[in-house]
Amino acid sequence: MPTSESLAQQLLDAQVAFHLEHLSGDRLAETVTRLAQDALEAAGRHPIGDLVDADAVKEIVARSLATVPGSAAVGGFVELAAQVVYDGPAAAYPLGDLVDRDQVAAVLDELLALTPALERGLARLTASPLVGTMASRFMGRIVGEVLQANKAVADKVPGLGSLMSFGTSAASRMMGAADKQFEGLIGDTVGKGGSFAVGRLNRIVIETLRDPTTRAAVLQVWDLAAERPVVGVEDPATRKELAGLVDAVHELVVSTLAHEEVARLGDAVVDALLERFGGYTAPELLDELDLDRDELVADLVRLAPGVVDALREAGDLERLVRARLEPFYSSPEVRRLLG
């Protein structure tokens, strides 16, 4: 008569064989389908808010924001994505085939409609003395270019060119003499003159955006770009510059997401999501996301054979199943029942 220990071992071997059989061949698809459907059916009886611990989710989100973006894997993904952009598609195609023109026009209309918000944002720039200095110099360069253009036109008119040249020369001498004192004076005048230059420049920008010609011009530029083929970046120097920009942006994202204020923002997002979708069951949420349950189950069935076959060939599948079941058959309670 077998001992309780040997009987427990035989039962363990039988159950391991039973599970391995259901994870093989045609039985695998049936097993995965049944497990996925049973899980969805069970989850469908409870709202998501009852199944999810909000504090645990917040902790996971905060930890992920602080660690995942700076991980080696994400760095590799960024590098890989940049390389794909550099290389471009295998076969070139016009950009217009990828992006619909009507959608571009719709986005442009929405952006142009934001001019009041842009105007308020630009108005805040007057608080920066350096922006005032930059605006003053920018407007000065524009005036200088206008003077040069007018002089070029005036040179074609007998007598007017010399007069224009005299005026421009005199203005240049005056500006040259004043230029030595400009840096000293700018500190006293930037509060008034700089603010005026910024305000004037802001009005030019806003009025230009509101001009109906701007929309037509942007769409015309898009039409020209839409005809160009989508290709990679062939210039090595440009690739190096873009790589530096990508790395800098990645570092900025990493340092920003690790900030505690971003973690608080993540908490607010979790609370908002649970408030919005916490009353849904899992199947109802899938419907809201336009995800078909049968398609999701079919995707799992397609993915499962590759994973299970790899584990089986490496000898890990049986080991994992046995390690999961063995503590039960080795427990004193089972031995006592079999004894």
Q: Where are the domains of the chain?
A: 1-52+278-339, 95-226
Please tell me the predicted confidence (pLDDT) of residue 158. Answer: 59
Which tokens go with 119? Answer: 């105007």
Please tell me the predicted confidence (pLDDT) of residue 157. Answer: 57
How many Å apart are CA 202 and CA 56, to the nearest integer?
48
Length of the chain: 339
Amino acid residing at 246 = V
Please tell me the predicted confidence (pLDDT) of residue 141. Answer: 77
Residue ranges of the chain whose pLDDT lies below 50? 166, 170-171, 173-191
Q: What separation in angstroms does the CA of 152 have from each of 138, 147, 159, 290?
A: 21, 9, 13, 64
Q: What separation in angstroms does the CA of 91 have from each of 98, 99, 232, 327, 329?
A: 13, 17, 10, 57, 60
pLDDT digits (tens, 9 = 90+) for 213-236: 999 999 999 999 999 888 888 788
Please tell me the predicted confidence (pLDDT) of residue 28. Answer: 93
What's the whole-model pTM score?
0.71
Please tell me the predicted confidence (pLDDT) of residue 142. Answer: 77
pLDDT digits (tens, 9 = 90+) for 78-123: 999 988 888 888 888 898 998 999 999 999 999 999 999 988 888 8
Please tell me the predicted confidence (pLDDT) of residue 181. Answer: 43
Contacts of 215 (CB under 8 A, 6+ apart): 108, 109, 112
